[in-house]
Every structure is written in C-alpha cells, then in structure tokens.
Chain A
Amino acid sequence: MDDFSRAGQRSNGPHANRRAWLLAAGGAALMPFGTLALAQSAPAASKNVANAVDGGAKAALLPYVGVEPPAATRLISLSGALTEIVYQLGAQSLLVGSDTTSNYPEAANRMPKVGYVRQLAAEGVLSLKPDVVIGTTEAGPPVVLQQIAQTRVAIALVQSDHSWDEVLRKIRLVGQATGRQAQAAQMAQDLQKEWDAVQALVRTTVAANRLPRALFVLSHSGTPQVAGQGTAGDALLRMGGASNVMQGFGGYRPLTAEAMAQAAPQVIVTTTQGVEAVGGEAKFWARPELALTPAYRNKALIALEASQLLGFGPRLPLAVRTLHQGLQAVQA
C-alpha cells in the first residue's frame, strides 16, 4: 500500500509536466481555429485582417515605392502592365528582361524571363546587367529586391492598389525610366479621357438601374476561385458597374455549391484563359456549383482576356467598357 502510493507520487511529477505540455500544444493547435471563427463571424474584421496582412508584406518594399527612376539604358520590367506601357511608348529596345506575367504584346514573350513576379532571383535579374528595375509592390520576395538594390541597380516600384490611379502611376514611372516623359504624359492624358467617358457611361446606367449581382471567378487551372474584397476582380466589378455578390472575405476563395446558391449571382465574370482551360463555355457551365445560380439559367457569362482584365495597364478603360457592355446586355 505504502509502496503503491509512493510510486504514484513519484510518477506524479512527470505526469503533471506532460499535462502542461499537452495543454500548451492544444492551445497552440486551437489558435488558428479561433481566428477562423473570428474571421467568419465578423466580415468587417476579416477584411481588416486581409488589408493589414497585405500591408505588412508590402511595407517591406516601401523604400522602393514612389522612387523616381533615372533614365535607363538597360531596363527590366517586373510587371505585365509596365512592359505593355514600355512597348506603347516605343521604348522596347531598352528592355533586356521581364517577368513571366509580361505576355502582351506578343513580342514581349520572346524576351528573357527572370521568373514569376513574386519568385524572383537576385542573380538572375543581375545577370542581364540592368541599370534600372521597375515593378509593382507585387514583386518579391523582398529580400531579393534588397539584394538587387545592394548593387548599383536602381529599383522603382508602383504601389499596387487596384485603382485607376495605379494605371496613371505606372505610365508616369515608365515615362521616367525610359526618358519619354512627354510621350507618357500625352498617353496618360488620352487614357484619362477614355476613362472619364467610360466612368460617365457607367454612372448613368448605375443611377438608372439596380446593379447586376456579379461573381468574379478566377480559374486558370484546378479549382475555380471566387474574388472577395481587396482583389483586382472585386475592383473591376465595381468599376464596371456591378455589385460583387461575394461579400465578407478578402482574397480569392474556392467555390462551394451552397455559398454559390446563397450568393445568387446574375452574371459571372471570368477570364478567357480560364474558360479555355476547362475546355470551352459549355464545360465551364457544367460545374455543379453553377447550376444553382440565376446566371446559369441565362448562361450569363462575360469572359475577358486575363492580362487586359487584371493587369491594371493601359487596356483597363477598354476592359471596363467591355465589361460594362456585357453587364448591360445581361440585364436587358
């Protein structure tokens, strides 16, 4: 008896220790769940989360944002839209490399690619011996940009916030970097006129009708994702005069059938690449989640080329106009 109790006491020490460990582990494991619950119960909070986190990642790039680049002799562009503007200004002879999102115009595909915009390598960029590197705050990882900046290469980035102003900032930046400020100013002015006309058009229809309930689907391969707040897709829907049915979360999320039925979009906006990837429009509509939506009944689908739609470059006014016309056709 005495022996038993002593044995019990002796093993009490490690047991208490183990219990403390398990509690700590359980707590740690539950932490993400707590945050998940928070995100779901409070949409406003989750939006703040997304903004705060994005802001955090981008803040590391801040020293290069708003920098006025010197005129380049060997230029690298880390953004499809910037590359496009370089071509429009006729300065492509300066370009020695670009990222893999630079696929418009066609000629841009034949340039050396330094990798995906978020996955760059310092030596790769430097091997092309640039004197100026331009991009947006989507470029990264930050440490690679810091490594590049350690050498004598100038880096200038545009704040990416899915606004019309972003396009103007890009044009101004490319104008600086290519030494074609006057041409860039002219281009910005022309585009501004085009943009004002599109926005005036959207405003009149928006005032006269209820906004069509739209859903933005991004699917280049694999599971389709729908656009929540703070995404380029969301910004585009609003610019084109639609309301985004996906409210209450930030970023892109996979579709679920029930949420889709609940959201009841009247029209679906996506990219032509996405439609091609699944094998055409008929295949696109064959997804089971879509069958429960009002959009399915009318087969209301607007597909636009991805870089035009999401690149926030000089083709944005045209993209918004096309989108707007598509939306009106659906409503009529």
Chain B
Amino acid sequence: MALLVLAAFVFAAGQGAFAIDAARLPAIAWSALQHWWQGGTDAGSTEQQVFAAIRAPRLVLGLAAGAGLGLAGALMQGLFRNPLADPGLIGVSSGAALAAAALIVMGALWFPSVPRSLGSWPLMLCAFTGGLVTTGLIYSLAQAGGGTRIGVMLLAGVAINALAMAGLGLLSFLSTDEQLRNLQLWLMGSLGGARWPVAIVACAVVAASALVAQRLAQPLNAIALGEAQASLMGVAVERTKRLAVIVAALVVGCITAACGMIGFIGLVAPHWVRLIAGPDHRVVLPASALLGAAMVVFADAFARTVVAPAELPLGVLTALVGVPLFLAMLRQFRRQL
C-alpha cells in the first residue's frame, strides 16, 4: 500500500500542464530545496519555481487530504457499523460548506472590517468552525441517558445535512454571478489553491489524527461485535465513540477547509481495503489512509492534465474515475459481501 502511494506520488509529480521532464525531477526538487535552504529570494529557473511553488505543495496537500478522508471514512464505518457511513455523515462537510458559502455570499456584509490581505484564511477558518459546530450539534442531539445513541446520530446527521444543503441552496440563490461561481468551485473541490502553509498545517493535523486513530483500532474491533459485548470486554465504548467523532471531525474539517468538498474517497477507500485485507481495524485504518492518499494524488494528476492547459475540478474526477473501479471490485467480490 505504501508502495502504491509512492508510485502515485512519483507519477503525479511528473505530470502537469507544465512539462517537466520526469528524469530531471529529482534534480529539480533537490535544487529547489537547496535554493529554499539558502534563502534565495531570486527564484531559480521557471521549472524550479513551478515545481516548488505550485506542484509540490499541491502534491503534499493531496496526500494529506486523501489520507485524512480515508482515515475518517474508516473511523466512521467502524463506529456506525454501517457500510454507507462516510465522513460527511456527521455533518462536517455540509457544515463546512454552509459556513464557507455564508462567508462567500455574506462575508463583506457581515465582516466589512476583516482585512483582505488575509486572503483565503478567513474562509478556511470559517469552514473549519462550521464543520466542527455541525458535528457538535449532531453529537449532542444523539446524547441520551449518559450515552451516545449511534442510531440517533445517524438520523440526526442525515437531517442536519439536509438542512445545511437547504441553507446552501438559499445562499446560492442570493448570490451574485461571481459569488455563485466561487461557491460552485469550492463545492466541487480542488487542490488548485494549494500553498505551503496550508499543506503543512493539513499534514500535521492528519498525522496527529492518524496516531490517535491507531489507538482506537482495538476498541473499534471490539465495538464491531456489538456495544454491550465491547463494554463487557472492558472497552471504554463511550470514550471511543467520542474520540472517533472528534478525530474525524477535526481531520475532515481541516481538509474541507483547505480544498473544498472531495466526496467519495472517504466512503470507498475503507471498503476497498476491507475487501482486500479483511476487517481488522488495526490494518483498515492505516491502509485506508494510504489508499485514500494514493487515490487523491492520482485523481489530481488527471485533473491537471486531461484538459490542459485548463483544469477539471477534482471532486468531479474522484467520483468519475473511482466509481467504475469500485463497481468492478464489487462485482468481483460480491460473493464475499
């Protein structure tokens, strides 16, 4: 699996509208790194610049995004014990989308004093907060008698998602052409806005989440046998649920904030892994992260090259490429399901 990621990474690094000779890639990367290390302000050759300023942060963000979505998907499916569960179910994506849309459409009205020089940071912060608030809402709706009712959470998630989508519809109705265009681009997801600070923050969040998630693997295995069984086995069920939700919300909130909505990865990567490697969460969690990373990096390489010099939205492509592959897989393994 790690090899697959590496292969995707190397493949994607060499692909792009801007032709960079794959054989010269290590040299370019190395000299770009040296250049940065020496703190040069004059910016090397164009190849170097394109690689260092545009393609490299994009690859890194793609890795982080895919890994985070795969991980969160595996966590959610483990927690809900439902094959349809995906990270969006706990409202992170739709909450983030609603908050981002609100800022895009109403931003200048509500916060006229926020300096424009902050660029896209306010939007990211807003999306992140929106995602977390929605998750908190769904989580608290599912509290009853000191426990979390997973069934209620599922339903509350579906309902809140519908509400958020309605809000989104209303906002897109209110928006001007320009805002609508921005909004749609954001909803379709893209790694095109990747810059180093964002990519590094996303990477850090995903790495930290992966560490926490790995400690949840054993308890999630127990929960798969049923909550009562798990607590008899001495698993802190409530704590596991809470941690899983928090980790998934943080990671998906962060990724959605950085690159918009990228669907499908979180749903499919864990299934794929389970078909190949079985249901043990100690394997499923890290493998889903790796597979997700490979899928996103791969899809993004296509997004950048298929209609070059223009660019396809990534969210569209992940589904367009991923779904047929997934269906083929299902067909092959349908007897085992």
Partner of B49, one of A21, A36, A39, A151: A151
Q: Contacting chain B: which of A120-128, A206-214, A315-323?
A: A120-128
Nearest 8 A/B pairs, CB to CB: A124-B309, A121-B311, A115-B310, A251-B176, A56-B108, A127-B17, A127-B18, A123-B17
**B140 beta carbon closer than 8 Å to chain A:** yes
Contacts of B178 in A (CB 8 A): 54, 57, 118, 138
Least distance between B37 CB and chain A CB atoms (Å): 18
Partner of B309, one of A21, A24, A113: A113
Q: List which A69-123 residues lie within 8 A (CB) of chain B.
A: 97, 100, 112-116, 118-123
Known: A118-B182, A126-B54. 14 other contacts (CB 8 A): A18-B143, A32-B102, A32-B171, A60-B119, A114-B309, A119-B181, A123-B18, A126-B17, A127-B18, A128-B309, A143-B192, A147-B195, A151-B49, A252-B177
Contact A54 B185 (CB under 8 A): no
**A11 beta carbon closer than 8 Å to chain B:** yes
Which residue of chain B lies nearest to A33 when distances are taken between CB atoms in the complex? B170
Complex interface bits, A136-149 against B, C-beta within 8 A gives 1, otherwise 0: 00101111101100
Contact B53 A147 (CB under 8 A): yes
A-B contact count (CB 8 A): 150
Contact A52 B311 (CB under 8 A): no
Complex interface bits, B114-152 against A, C-beta within 8 A gives 1, otherwise 0: 001001100000000000000011001101110000000
Contact A113 B137 (CB under 8 A): no
Which residue of chain A lies nearest to B136 when distances are taken between CB atoms in the complex? A21
Question: Could you list 12 examples of A-B contacts with CB < 8 Å?
Answer: A18-B141, A21-B141, A31-B102, A60-B116, A62-B116, A115-B309, A119-B310, A123-B55, A127-B16, A147-B54, A150-B43, A151-B46
Which residue of chain B lies nearest to A17 when distances are taken between CB atoms in the complex? B140
- Per the bound structure, the CA–CA distance linking A225 and B89 in Å amounts to 35
Contacts of B17 in A (CB 8 A): 121, 123-124, 126-127
Contact B119 A141 (CB under 8 A): no
Contact A141 B107 (CB under 8 A): no
**A250 beta carbon closer than 8 Å to chain B:** yes
- Per the bound structure, the CA–CA distance linking A142 and B163 in Å amounts to 30
Partner of B174, one of A39, A55, A126, A128: A39
Contact B119 A32 (CB under 8 A): no
**B226 beta carbon closer than 8 Å to chain A:** no
**A25 beta carbon closer than 8 Å to chain B:** yes
For B43, B53, B185, B309, which residue has the most chain A Cβ atoms within 10 angstroms? B309
Q: List which B288-324 residues lie within 8 A (CB) of chain A.
A: 304, 308-311
**B40 beta carbon closer than 8 Å to chain A:** no
Contact B106 A32 (CB under 8 A): yes
Contacts of B193 in A (CB 8 A): 141, 143-144
For B46, B55, B106, B178, which residue has the most chain A Cβ atoms within 10 angstroms? B178
Contacts of B18 in A (CB 8 A): 123, 126-127
**B3 beta carbon closer than 8 Å to chain A:** no
Contacts of A147 in B (CB 8 A): 53-54, 195
**A8 beta carbon closer than 8 Å to chain B:** no
**A255 beta carbon closer than 8 Å to chain B:** no
Contacts of B233 in A (CB 8 A): none
Least distance between A44 CB and chain B CB atoms (Å): 14
Contacts of B145 in A (CB 8 A): 11
Least distance between A22 CB and chain B CB atoms (Å): 8
**A163 beta carbon closer than 8 Å to chain B:** no
Contact A53 B108 (CB under 8 A): yes
Q: Which residues of A contact B (CB under 8 A)?
A: 11, 14, 17-18, 21, 24-25, 29, 31-33, 35-36, 39, 49-50, 52-57, 59-60, 62, 97, 100, 112-116, 118-129, 138, 140-144, 146-147, 150-152, 250-252
Contact B54 A123 (CB under 8 A): yes
Contact A29 B167 (CB under 8 A): yes
Contact B119 A52 (CB under 8 A): no
Contact A115 B311 (CB under 8 A): yes
Least distance between A204 CB and chain B CB atoms (Å): 34
Contacts of B107 in A (CB 8 A): 53, 56
User: Provided the pairs A147-B53, A251-B176, A251-B177 are in contact, do residues A121 and B140 lie with their beta carbons within 8 angstroms?
Assistant: no
Contact A53 B309 (CB under 8 A): no
- Per the bound structure, the CA–CA distance linking A124 and B178 in Å amounts to 22
Contact A54 B176 (CB under 8 A): yes
- Per the bound structure, the CA–CA distance linking A53 and B182 in Å amounts to 12
Least distance between B53 CB and chain A CB atoms (Å): 5
Contact A143 B54 (CB under 8 A): no
User: Provided the pairs A14-B143, A121-B192 are in contact, do residues A36 and B109 lie with their beta carbons within 8 angstroms?
Assistant: no
- Per the bound structure, the CA–CA distance linking A115 and B181 in Å amounts to 14
Contact B195 A143 (CB under 8 A): yes
Complex interface bits, B198-212 against A, C-beta within 8 A gives 1, otherwise 0: 000000000000000
- Per the bound structure, the CA–CA distance linking A141 and B192 in Å amounts to 9
Complex interface bits, B157-198 against A, C-beta within 8 A gives 1, otherwise 0: 000000100010011001111110110010000001101000
Partner of A29, one of B46, B163, B176: B163
**B84 beta carbon closer than 8 Å to chain A:** no
**B112 beta carbon closer than 8 Å to chain A:** yes
- Per the bound structure, the CA–CA distance linking A127 and B108 in Å amounts to 35
Contact A124 B54 (CB under 8 A): no
Least distance between B59 CB and chain A CB atoms (Å): 12
**B328 beta carbon closer than 8 Å to chain A:** no
Partner of A59, one of B19, B102, B116, B163: B116
Least distance between A63 CB and chain B CB atoms (Å): 10
Contacts of A119 in B (CB 8 A): 181, 185, 310-311
- Per the bound structure, the CA–CA distance linking A62 and B136 in Å amounts to 39
Least distance between B61 CB and chain A CB atoms (Å): 12
**B105 beta carbon closer than 8 Å to chain A:** yes
